[in-house]
A and B are shown apart, each in its own frame.
Chain A
Amino acid sequence: NAGVTQTPKFRILKIGQSMTLQCTQDMNHNYMYWYRQDPGMGLKLIYYSVGAGITDKGEVPNGYNVSRSTTEDFPLRLELAAPSQTSVYFCASSYSMESHTQYFGPGTRLTVL
């Protein structure tokens, strides 16, 4: 099993550009999450999904969009990138809401200039 994979690993965007961060898991997990991690701050939940076709906002959803058309994939879309979106983005998955473990992807380091 590859677990949770994310692409790209690194990206530099100009202000106002858009991009999609890809996330795929092969563990047949129902729950998937997008977090951002800023230096000196805890992980912040952007969006999460409880299954294909169902998504919901987390703590910091503004400026982002998600979709979940399959169990495996959970892409994160940035529209009109801003410097405040410079961060490391982690995708994670878990079998259920009560699961003890979330499995994280390797992260995408995004810089917006």
Chain B
Amino acid sequence: DVKVTQSSRYLVKRTGEKVFLECVQDMDHENMFWYRQDPGLGLRLIYFSYDVKMKEKGDIPEGYSVSREKKERFSLILESASTNQTSMYLCASSSGPGPVLYNEQFFGPGTRLTVL
């Protein structure tokens, strides 16, 4: 059964702290994604990765960085957390690239981060 896990369901941090959000998938997927979800704004892509050690900026990368040292693990890093980064963070993975265009993404349960 497909599984994407995230290290924490709830996290409370202080302004200026360095924050690590971890995501692990067990499906041998090439693609991994980090989104943030805010009411009325839907899901916005922060960063994604097509392969180990590879990363690309999404729509809102400012204030974030990522690391993908192993295929199954994709980490989101907030170098200096700010209150406007309080949000729900969702990780996802998908197989590919390849000739098949259908590309379902599988999501983790999310991490609700509060920055005080």
Q: Do A and B bind each other?
A: no
Name B residues whose Cβ lies closer than 8 Å to a Cβ of A.
Answer: none
Name A residues whose Cβ lies closer than 8 Å to a Cβ of B.
Answer: none
